[in-house]
Amino acid sequence: MNIAVLSDTHGLLRPEVLPHLAGVDAILHAGDVGDAAILNRLAAFAPVYAIRGNVDTAPELLTLPEALLVELGGVFIFMLHDLKTLDAVPHGVRVVISGHSHQPRTTDGGGVLHLNPGSCGPRRFSLPVSLARLHLGTEVTARLISV
């Protein structure tokens, strides 16, 4: 199963992100969507699972959960916007996805893959514009993609 992972679009879905969404089985958005229309555009590619970030204050975005546990391809994925708010990884979770820092990062330790896809919205400081692809199969792997 191939999944696109985005975060921190802040109301901007860049055209150069769209080719990376083709053929995915699902799209995960780790918050700071900024505009509900982005979720509708993403849904044209695959089912979307999204959480609310600290800038998601519009009424239609306030309905998004602050955290989400989803099972895809038999793998439990826990999503939250700011990793600093995670007290403990829920039992059985193989992947933790977060955003907020705009810094793309992936670490795998203790049987849990931590993935921050970075931001694919407006550029912040000198940080790259990025997203990630998550592959769920016999192995769980993540690849960061700069756009």
Residue 51 pLDDT more than 90?
yes
Fold designation for 2-146: Purple Acid Phosphatase; chain A, domain 2 (3.60.21)
Q: Residue 94: how many CA atoms within 13 Å on its side-chain side?
A: 16
Residue 115 has pLDDT above 90, yes or no: yes
Q: Are 98 and 81 in contact (CB under 8 A)?
A: yes
pLDDT for residue 123: 87
* pLDDT on residue 124: 84
Give 54-110 pLDDT, tens digit per residue. Answer: 999 999 999 999 999 999 999 999 999 999 999 999 999 999 999 999 999 999 988
**Domains in the chain: boundaries:** 2-146
> Global pTM?
0.96
Q: Rounded distance, CA 51 to CA 110, Å? A: 25
